[in-house]
């Protein structure tokens, strides 16, 4: 049984109520492969989670873009995993580079703690890893993403509710994209790392998706690579081409 294709749409800090309704309408009207063949998860900003949940087609799912590292309390501005569960939100994105670096300097250990806590509360996690341009040019890509993955593996025994998203920092929102060969190389090495450190079953079944300037033009070639199990899409997830990216799951099915 092959790994089911996964397409996530990270809307980041974008949208108004009207814009969000238009995006959801576009998604609801789209003809896409069956949920037996592809998991589609969209991630609106916190304030739009309830309206998207109320309007979105039932075969698509919803993720929050972050959650707090432990139970809620006196943590102004944070949203707890328990709150997401209470809202009926099944997924959460954790460890995105914009939070690791740009915004809050979240350490790999902190991200690992967040992943473990979210899982303990019943959430499914899209866990992001990736290197900077400087790290890639210095030849330390695998050391960086392995260390980020290890910080999760040290705290997690069951990987069945984790999707690992490889997002090279230099490709996020820049228009640059890892070549299919570059993406496959890192995904393959990550899978080998999982095999050696988390076991053969985890390596064989954990979905590793690619993120970083994915669009309708490059998704098919990326999807054809054997260790690319889908995508975490940024800007293109707000546009009609997101449907084309979802449809690229048929490339994987035809290659099985």
- Identify the pLDDT of residue 1: 55
Task: Give catalytic status of residue 96 as yes or no.
Answer: yes
User: Residue 141 is encoded by which pair of tokens?
Assistant: 């890509």
State the pLDDT confidence band at 152, using cuts at 50, 70 and 90: very high
pLDDT in tens, 186-232: 999 999 999 999 999 999 999 999 999 999 999 999 999 999 999 99
Catalytic hit among 96, 98, 131, 187: 96
| Rounded to 5°, angle at Cα 234 from 174 and 114 | 110
Quote the pLDDT of residue 252.
76
**In this predicted structure, what is the pLDDT of residue 32?**
97
Q: Give me the pLDDT at residue 214, please.
A: 94
Half-sphere exposure of 221 (CA within 13 A, CB side): 12
pTM score, whole prediction = 0.97
The residue from 98, 106, 131, 167 that is catalytic is 167
Residues whose CB is less than 8 angstroms from the CB of residue 119 and which lie 6 or more positions away in sequence, other chains included: 125, 156, 158, 161, 162
Range of the domain at 249: 5-255
Count of structural domains, the chain: 1
CATH of the domain at 232: 3.20.20.70
116, pLDDT greater than 90 = yes
**pLDDT category of residue 35 using cuts at 50, 70 and 90:** very high
Q: Is 167 a catalytic residue?
A: yes
């Amino acid at each position: 049984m092959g790994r089911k294709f996964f397409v996530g749409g990270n809307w980041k800090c974008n949208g108004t109520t009207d814009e969000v309704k238009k995006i959801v309408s576009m998604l609801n009207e789209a003809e896409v492969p069956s949920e037996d063949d592809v998991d589609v998860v969209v991630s609106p900003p916190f304030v739009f989670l309830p309206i998207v949940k109320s309007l979105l087609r039932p075969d698509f799912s919803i993720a929050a873009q972050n959650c707090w590292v432990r139970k809620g309390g006196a943590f102004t501005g944070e949203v707890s995993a328990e709150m997401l569960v209470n809202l009926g939100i099944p997924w959460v994105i954790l460890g995105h580079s914009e939070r690791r670096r740009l915004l809050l300097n979240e350490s790999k250990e902190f991200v690992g703690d967040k992943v473990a806590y979210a899982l303990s509360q019943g959430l499914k996690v899209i866990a992001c890893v990736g290197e900077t341009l400087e790290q890639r040019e210095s030849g330390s890509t695998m050391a960086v993403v392995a260390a980020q993955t290890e910080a999760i593996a040290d705290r997690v025994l069951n990987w069945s509710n984790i999707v690992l998203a490889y997002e090279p920092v230099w490709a996020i929102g820049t228009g640059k994209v890892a070549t299919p060969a570059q993406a496959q190389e890192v995904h393959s090495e990550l899978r080998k790392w999982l095999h050696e450190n988390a076991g053969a079953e985890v390596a064989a079944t954990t979905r590793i998706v690619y993120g970083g300037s994915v669009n309708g033009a490059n998704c098919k070639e990326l999807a054809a690579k054997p260790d690319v199990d889908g995508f975490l899409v940024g800007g293109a997830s707000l546009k009609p081409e997101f449907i084309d990216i979802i449809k690229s799951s048929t490339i994987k099915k035809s290659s099985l």
